[in-house]
Structure formats: C-alpha cells, structure tokens
Chains A and B, each alone.
Chain A
Amino acid sequence: MEKPNLSYIKEISGGDIAFEKSVITVLKKEFPEEAKKCIENFESKKYLELANNVHKIKHKISILGLKEDLELASRFEADLKEENPKLYPNFIKILNKIHVYLDDI
C-alpha cells in the first residue's frame, strides 16, 4: 500500500524549510475541512458536489506522492459525474490514510 510522503514538497522546496512548513500548515488546515465536505455531500447524496470536492482534494493526494490513490480518486470523480458513488469506501480509505499521516507530521 502506498504511503503518503513529502518527497514532492521537498523536491520543489530546494531546502526552503519555511516553504515546507507553510505547505504542511495549509495541508493540515485545509485537508480536514475538505474531507468533511466530502463526507457530508456523500451522505446527502449530492454526488456532483462531491465530484468537485474530490477534484480539489486530488491535488493534495498527488502532492503527498500517492500516485495509485490519485488514479482511484480520478475514477471516483468521473463516476460521481454519472451519479455513481461505488468507489466511496475506497476513497474514504485514502482520506483516512492522509488524516493519520498529517496528524503525525
């Protein structure tokens, strides 16, 4: 299973610690809010809005180095545009994994 990592952020930081800290701070602030919106919209069956939430969160999945999870999130987003939420449990697993990781760093 893929694990979240800061390789991409460190690569573009070029050793700029202030930048790395800023990105992590924003991730820690934005991610829980965006994940919460995903859950709310799923529970309200607002699948098109959920597709937008998934789209936005995809960037965070990608910068944390989760390539396979990014593929899954993209498929989930496409399915949601056709009102198909079948991949939701898999998507939630990705969110949980990121939650745990962000809590630890």
Chain B
Amino acid sequence: MNCIIIDDDATARLIMRQLCSKSEVINVVEDFSSAIEAIKYLNTNSVDVIFLDIHMPTFSGFDFIQSLKNPPKIILTTSDKDFALVAFEYACVVDYLLKPITEDRFLKSIQKLKSHVNVEVDTSKDKKAALDYLYVNVERRLVKINIADIYLIEAKGDYINIKTNQKNYIVHSTLKKIEDKLPSSLFLKVHRSFIINTTEIIDIEDNSVLIRQKVIPVSRSNKSELMKRLNLL
C-alpha cells in the first residue's frame, strides 16, 4: 500500500518512515511538513493510506481530512489523547496512534488497516457476485450458470473453460473478467491459467492441488493465499 506521511515535525517524519520500513505492506512514497503541500500532491497523485499528524499550525489534520473529497484510509498520529473520540467520527480514520509510537503498536495498526482494506475489497467483490448465478455467452446464447456448481475455470488462449457439475462451457472471455464476477470467499486464482473453487480441493501436494480428478498447478506467489484459505488443523 502506498502511503504518505504528514507531520510538521521532522523527527516525527523520520520516526514514522522508520516504523513503515518494518512493514512489508507499506511503501512510503512521500512525506510532507504541511497539509497544504500534501493537498497539492494529492491533486495529481493517489495513495492508499496517510499517516497524519493532527496538531499542525494553520491547517490541522482535521481541516485536511475535511478538504478531501474522497479521502484514502487515514491513521492519525498525535501527542494528544483528547482527540480520540473526534478522530473516529471520520469514516476514513482507521486508527489513532499516540506518540511516541512503539513498533508493536504501529504493527497492530497496520493489521487493522489491512483488515479494513480486505473487508472493503471483499465487500465490493461480493456485491458484484451478490447473485448466485451468472450468464455467459455460448454460441450466441446467454446461458445461466449457478456459481456454486463451478469447480474450475481454465484459461485457453482467448477463451475460458468453465467447468461445472453439469457440463463445461467454452466462453470468449478472460480469467480476470470472470474472477471479478465471482465471490472471493469461494474462488481463488491459483495460477495464471486456473481459478479454483476452494471448497472442491481434495488435497494439496507441493505446488499443486487436486480438484476432482485433475491436478492443478499453484504458482509460488499464490500459494500463501491458498494456505490461508484452508481450515488447517
């Protein structure tokens, strides 16, 4: 996640950069000593998260939040306990860090941030897949497929092969397009050519999964996500 740091105190900016370097998911793209400079930057750039000091001269952190039309996620940093209640009146505020910020507290905040971002991604995907079925174009006919019946989707050049309990459908589309239509809670892209229904996994061995009678390769980059989905003993 790309982030910026806004704090009028140079020491605080240095410390926040150091804390950010401890997280694998946070990438500091810029830091600013004033909210006005940050607003100029955000006019032409977007970021996923802002570490924002509340107490700054002329333009406070709260003034800054109110000036943004679509604020990204914001983690407030401050030396004051008194602002906590006000801070959470803003929907974009994920957490409130009291200075001096310890590494443990910072990393907890990043976990919180990740859960916020994941929930939003899941919600938006699940909205797209709110229906239990989708229609696909097969030989000029729109055919209804029950999503729960899909156990595997395989990319084949410009086509995808959607395999269901009843039959297979060859559709002119891409894995990316169908992935966006499927609930992320059920389906996972495990390889550039395969999306699987994770409830259909029979076993996993090294870098492959067995779905029905078929061995499906799992890319190294997708393996950790796959393992997270399993109800491991």
Contacts and interface: CB of A to CB of B under 8 A. Distances in A.
Interface of A: 8-9, 11-14, 16, 19, 22-23, 26-27, 30, 52, 55-56, 58-60, 62-63, 74
Contacts of A16: 18
Given A12-B103, A59-B11, A52 B57 contact: yes
B102 interface: yes
Nearest to B22: A14
A19 B16 CA distance: 11
B18 A12 contact: yes
Interface of B: 8-12, 14-15, 18-19, 22, 55, 57, 79-80, 99-100, 102-103
SS class, residues of chain A in contact with chain B: helix
Nearest to A14: B22
B10 A55 contact: no
B11 A19 contact: no
A26 B99 CA distance: 17
B9 A56 contact: yes
Contacts of A11: 102-103
A68 to B, nearest CB: 15
A2 to B, nearest CB: 14
Contacts of A62: 79, 99-100
B201 to A, nearest CB: 39
B79 A19 contact: no
A19 to B, nearest CB: 5
A12 B15 contact: yes
Contact of B14 (A14, A19, A52): A19
A59 B14 contact: no
Contact of B79 (A14, A30, A58): A58
B100 A8 contact: yes
B100 A19 contact: no
A59 B19 contact: no
A12 B14 contact: no
B15 A63 contact: yes
Contacts of B12: 59
Contacts of A60: 11
A63 B11 contact: yes
A8 B12 CA distance: 13
11 contacts: A8-B100, A9-B15, A11-B102, A12-B18, A12-B103, A19-B14, A19-B18, A22-B14, A55-B79, A56-B8, A59-B100
